[in-house]
Amino acid sequence: MGKEKQNEQHFSTPRQTAPAAASPKKTATAGVWEERWHPLREEWVIIAAHRQDRPWSGNKVQHAQNDLPDYVADCYLCPGNTRISGAQNPDYKQTFVFNNDHPSVALNAPEHIEPPCGIYRNQPAHGIARVVCYSPKHNLSLAELDMPDIVTLLRVWREQYCELGKRPDISHVLIFENRGEVVGVSNPHPHCQIYATNFVFKTIETEARVSRRHLEDTGRPLFKDILSAEKNDGRRLICENDSVIAFVPYFARYAYELFVAPKETHPSLAALSDTELRDFAEVLQHVLIKFDNLWRIPFPYVMTLHQTPTDGGDYRGFHFHAEFHPPLRKPDLLKYLAGPEIGGGNFLSDTSPEQKARELRAQSIVHYKHAKKERS
Ligand SMILES: [Zn+2]
Ligand SMILES: [Zn+2]
């Protein structure tokens, strides 16, 4: 009964706050309620931030421990350990790349597959799936790596993109990190994955298509126009240096969604200068530390690098960037994908991108674990 009453109260607030959303110069955006166009995906996002405090009695989210050892004997990613395939990890000192023992795509996936009926199509699941360990230390997340080590990791990502992308049987190289149990990762040893596939992933395909069209229509890369809009507004910027910028996009689908991008248009990491690569590492590090500091937990997210496909297509106007899609709205509150997202295909966000950006911007760029050490 009490809950129903609360619901009624919550639904009465938007009428009071809706006018604020209509005037973009206002800074108070907590109650924003409107639809925003996502220019890279060509779809609407419903922002219904007036609902963010609606009562919730779902499952509580479990977080990874804060105090992990730097080596775990039964971790299949720690140096020297034996993996499930029987392969033994080398005694690696920095990054370590290996072919995934349980690949979703592989060069030895069945070549001869049963032809389907009628209008259906299929093709072999050919590709290469790899794992990249960021560090030999089991407890050293990307946020806690030193700057030179992040630069080294960016170089490894670049090498992998170039090496795999060069292959005639690979159309696209997706580099991504799933972090945290809430996105299905049970092993906290910091690592990312690479799916080099014989097709182009849907989001990249859409971004490539709309970016090329925008360039043809306006003479400008779409992402540069997005960056101008973000700079002009300013409320969603998180941090920047000379050549790289991080922001919560206007059209964020997740509460703490965040993009990191070079200011100049480059098709992939491979095209960044050494200075831009260092700048990218710096902004990446600051963003990751802010994420962790927000609730003083290893902040879960899905991170993907959006780079041009490698199938030889026309990808003029494509602007390399990294996207973070954190699944949590609050420390113990998961954004569930339900009717609108799964059933209808458009996102409904219960939070205001401006307010979430303000929370992230306010965070220190000293990791809370280090701050703790300095104090003691
Ligand atoms: Zn480990
Ligand atoms: Zn993207």
Look at residue 50 in the predicted model and tell me its pLDDT.
81
**pLDDT digits over 287-344, tens only?**
999 999 999 999 999 999 999 999 999 999 999 999 999 999 999 888 889 999 999 9
Q: How far is the CA of 60 from the centre of ligand 2 (A)?
A: 30
Dmax (CA) for the chain in angstroms is 69
Tell me the catalytic residues: 191
| 1 band by pLDDT with thresholds 50, 70 and 90 | very low
Q: How far is the CA of 247 from the centre of ligand 2 (A)?
A: 13
- Does residue 138 contact residue 71 with C-beta atoms inside 8 Å? yes
Q: Classify burial at 65, counting beta carbons within 10 Å of its beta carbon; exposed 0-12, middle 13-18, buried 19 or more.
A: exposed
Instruction: Kindly identify the ligand whose nearest atom is closest to the C-alpha of 135.
Output: 1
Query: Residue 351 Cα, ligand 2 centroid: separation in angstroms?
Result: 21
Q: What is d(CA 165, CA 78) in angstroms, rounded to the nearest whole number?
A: 28
Q: Which ligand gives the minimal distance to the CA of 249? A: 2
Contacts 24+ apart (CB under 8 A), 114-123: 123/198, 123/199
User: Which ligand is nearest the CA of 74, by number?
Assistant: 1
How far lies 47's CA from each of 32, 56, 250, 255, 352, in Å? Answer: 7, 19, 10, 10, 7
Q: Is beta strand 321-325 parallel, antiparallel or unpaired with respect to 96-99?
A: unpaired
Kindly list the protein residues that place their beta carbon closer than 5 angstroms to ligand 1, a single-atom ion.
Answer: 72, 75, 77-78, 138, 189
Kindly give the distance from the C-alpha atom of residue 293 to the centroid of ligand 1, in angstroms, as a whole number.
23
Nearest in space to 300 (alpha carbons), one of 162, 163, 190, 148? 190
Q: Does the pLDDT of residue 78 top 50, yes or no?
A: yes
pLDDT, mean over the chain: 89
